Amino acid sequence: MTRAKRKLEHIKYALTTGNNGQAGFADIHFVHQSLPDLSLDDVTLNTVIGELYLSSPLFINAMTGGGGAKTQEINEQIAIAARETNTAMAVGSQMGAIKDKSERPSFEIVRKVNPDGIVFANLGSEATVDQAKEAVEMLRADVLQIHLNVIQELTMPEGDRDFKGALERIHAIISSVGVPVIIKETGAGISMETAKKLASVSPFAIDAGGYGGTNFAEIENSRRKRILEYFNEWGIPTAVSVVEITHGAPSIPVLASGGIKGADDILKAISLGASAAGMAGPLLKTLMQDGLDALISEISELKEDMKVMMCALGRPTIQELQMAPVMISGDSFHFLKQRGID
């Protein structure tokens, strides 16, 4: 199967699989404050993470890799939505376009339609320094994401089987690529131990990419004859992973993604210590099912809802929201307690 066909299958199955509601956010509870002492007009969403300025803590996470007219069209529409809502966006893996230059236009379109926006390039941890530089150059990217996807590769019949040396390659890329590097998971979450290892190479940020949303084991299992059932429910729920990372890598900014479904999940993730939150599958679903205008409306409403809830919580900035108290119940409480994180 060609890479382009595989990417289209990922999109198709991403729309029909996934563990909605198991990312742990139902276990996270805000503590209501009846005297917020601020006006809705005082609430601002902009946030600064290191050298990166974001107009809101929401970013559109990596989705479509290159290949073919269909993925080019999807990338173009996501880039228009990002531009119209002033939202940072990541592209999907650019490895295909590095290996086959004819795939470059499906990424270059992003910069063409969104020349001034914040754009994240994307490659896997198998990438070399030269490939990382090429991915950044292809998009004049502001940031590079490196994804970790062991579960997807092992479930994919044609996937990688050798995961040696990833941290060393990531270190080499961080040292010389020239833009901030985010390390992200793709739906299995990042543990305290992995976060600690990642912190040793000083990434710009770590994105939990936790369990509970788009599920690549299920997507790949939909494409194979002998199903690896055991990977379908494998991973650290996103809410738990965010806390694990803050403990394993206390000095590194944390991003939350994986099963973020609404503005409340974004704010809960920030209250747990994240600096920003990414959404992929739900936004793709809106685009594919309801079109570009619906996607733009959804992103605008997410931002409006964030502001309304921040007003109710008496937290006018993202920085202050990070300090808001939350109550953790259920499985997430027990998970963290047994991990020694209280």
Report the residue from 3, 4, 10, 192 that binds ligand FNR according to the rule CB under 6 A: 10
Tokens representing 276 are: 């920003």
Give the CA distances from residue 248 to residues 41, 105, 275, 295, in Å, rounded to whole numbers and listed in that order.
37, 39, 16, 35
Nearest residue (CB) to ligand FNR, 43 versus 215:
215
Query: How many residues contact ligand FNR, by CB under 6 A?
Result: 27
Decide if residue 279 touches ligand FNR (CB under 6 A).
yes
CA distance 296 to 24: 27
Decide if residue 3 touches ligand FNR (CB under 6 A).
no
For the CB of residue 307, give the shortest distance to ligand FNR in the complex, in Å: 21
Decide if residue 203 touches ligand FNR (CB under 6 A).
no
CA distance 220 to 214: 11
Decide if residue 43 touches ligand FNR (CB under 6 A).
no
Residue type, 271: S
Q: Is the dihedral of CA 166, 14, 259, 339 positive or negative?
A: negative
Strands 47-49 and 52-54: antiparallel
- Which listed range, 57-65, 160-168, 190-198, 296-304, lies at the site for ligand FNR (CB under 6 A)? 57-65
Q: What is the Cα Rg of the chain in Å? A: 19
For the CB of residue 207, give the shortest distance to ligand FNR in the complex, in Å: 7
199 closest CA partner among 150, 148, 256, 250? 250
- Which listed range, 103-111, 181-189, 246-254, 325-333, lies at the site for ligand FNR (CB under 6 A)? 181-189
Nearest residue (CB) to ligand FNR, 43 versus 208:
208
CA geometry: angle 115, 119, 125, nearest 5 deg: 145
Nearest residue (CB) to ligand FNR, 186 versus 316:
186
Decide if residue 285 touches ligand FNR (CB under 6 A).
no
Decide if residue 186 touches ligand FNR (CB under 6 A).
yes
Spell out the alpha helix ranges (H) of 156-291.
166-176, 192-199, 216-221, 238-248, 263-271, 281-290
Q: Distance between the two ends of the chain, CA-based, in angstroms?
A: 47
Decide if residue 66 touches ligand FNR (CB under 6 A).
no
Report the residue from 96, 117, 180, 187 that binds ligand FNR according to the rule CB under 6 A: 187
Q: Is the dihedral of CA 91, 92, 93, 94 positive or negative?
A: negative
For the CB of residue 239, give the shortest distance to ligand FNR in the complex, in Å: 13
170 closest CA partner among 148, 192, 149? 148
Decide if residue 125 touches ligand FNR (CB under 6 A).
no
For the CB of residue 121, give the shortest distance to ligand FNR in the complex, in Å: 10
Residues 291-330 contacting ligand FNR, CB under 6 A = none
Q: If you search the block for the tokens 């299958």, which residue do you land on? A: 9
Decide if residue 284 touches ligand FNR (CB under 6 A).
yes
Q: Tell me the residue ranges of DSSP E strands in 106-157.
A: 119-124, 143-148
Residues 80-109 contacting ligand FNR, CB under 6 A = 92-93
Decide if residue 209 touches ligand FNR (CB under 6 A).
yes
For the CB of residue 31, give the shortest distance to ligand FNR in the complex, in Å: 26
Decide if residue 257 touches ligand FNR (CB under 6 A).
yes
Decide if residue 61 touches ligand FNR (CB under 6 A).
yes
Q: What are the phi and psi torsion angles at 220 (to 5°)?
A: -70, -35
Decide if residue 132 touches ligand FNR (CB under 6 A).
no
For the CB of residue 55, give the shortest distance to ligand FNR in the complex, in Å: 20
Nearest residue (CB) to ligand FNR, 43 versus 183:
183
The Cβ of residue 33 has, within 10 Å, a number of other Cβ atoms equal to 13
CA geometry: angle 239, 78, 124, nearest 5 deg: 60
By the 8 A CB rule, do 253 and 50 touch?
yes
Q: Which residues bind ligand FNR (CB under 6 A)?
A: 10-11, 14, 61-63, 65, 92-93, 122, 145, 147, 184, 186-187, 209, 213-214, 257-260, 279-282, 284
